[in-house]
Amino acid sequence: MRFAALSFVAAAIVLTQTAHATDPESLNVQGIELGMSLDDARTELVERGYEKTIGNEPAAFDDIVKKALDEISGPVPKGGLMRFETKTEIMILLFVALPNGPEVNSITYRLNDPSVSYANLSETAIGLYGKPDFERTSLGFTPDNLPRLYWLASPPTAAHGAPGGAFLELAYSKSSGESEFHSGQITLQDGGARRERQTKEIEDVVRKAS
């Protein structure tokens, strides 16, 4: 089951899906899915009104393989980062270079809008992704210790450790005073699946060439 495109903007908080999230590849955040090509992700966000503010693309997969074959020293970027923004939203995408081109392996969405409360944000996420698999209090992260919500993951063994494997996380922070701000964040990661695939693809090419 594919999950409907997610929008957390205050004027667009609508619950459209109640299935429980079990497959990270079936989810999307603001229309962006894991495994999306760099070009498709960029087109999707531009159509949604985002502007690219920061970005560095990964090296071409063939260049990474050439470095491995020639045993060239020095860094060759196997991944890349793109940041897109609107007035109140930020999307940060990480990419991994693969034979068919760069693919999204991590999505971070931030909403800096005081009109969207933690209750709004969590209700919307639960409506889209179903009941979280677990939650934990964000000690030191917010004054109210608002819990972070997790899907697709098991609780980490360490008190402040990150979940293992792929996961979807909701976090919310706020501060009071003269510079009061509210910031909600959704993170979707593939748990290193594409990094592992990249390593295997490179090793296969090198082995066949040797």
pLDDT tens per residue, range 87-123? 999 999 999 999 999 999 999 999 988 888 888 999 9
Amino acid identity of 6? L
- Judge residue 138's burial from the number of C-beta atoms within 10 Å of its C-beta, 0-12 exposed, 13-18 middle, 19 or more buried: middle
pLDDT at 5 over 60: no
Paired residues of 29 in beta bridges: 32
Confidence of residue 153 (pLDDT cuts 50, 70, 90): confident
Share of the chain above pLDDT 90, in %: 41
pLDDT at 33 over 90: yes
Query: Each residue of 154-190: pLDDT tens digit?
Result: 776 655 666 778 999 998 887 665 555 578 999 999 9
209 sits in the region (left: phi over 0; alpha: psi -120 to 50; else beta) called alpha
Paired residues of 93 in beta bridges: 82, 107
Distance of alpha carbon 145 from alpha carbon 140, whole angstroms:
7
Q: pTM for this one?
A: 0.83
Share of the chain above pLDDT 70, in %: 77
- Please report where in the chains the tokens 């962006």 appear, as a residue: 32
pLDDT value of residue 21: 72
Sign of the C-alpha dihedral, residues 61, 62, 63, 65? Answer: positive
pLDDT at 150 over 50: yes
Q: In what order do the strands lie in the sheet with 147-151?
A: 51-56, 79-85, 89-96, 103-111, 181-189, 167-175, 147-151, 134-137
Query: Is residue 80 within 8 Å of residue 56, measured between CB atoms?
Result: yes
pLDDT at 20 over 70: no
pLDDT value of residue 168: 92
Q: Where are the beta strands (DSSP E) in the chain?
A: 51-56, 79-85, 89-96, 103-111, 134-137, 147-151, 167-175, 181-189
Distance of alpha carbon 44 from alpha carbon 59, whole angstroms:
22
pLDDT at 140 over 70: no
User: Which tokens is 169 given?
Assistant: 């996380």
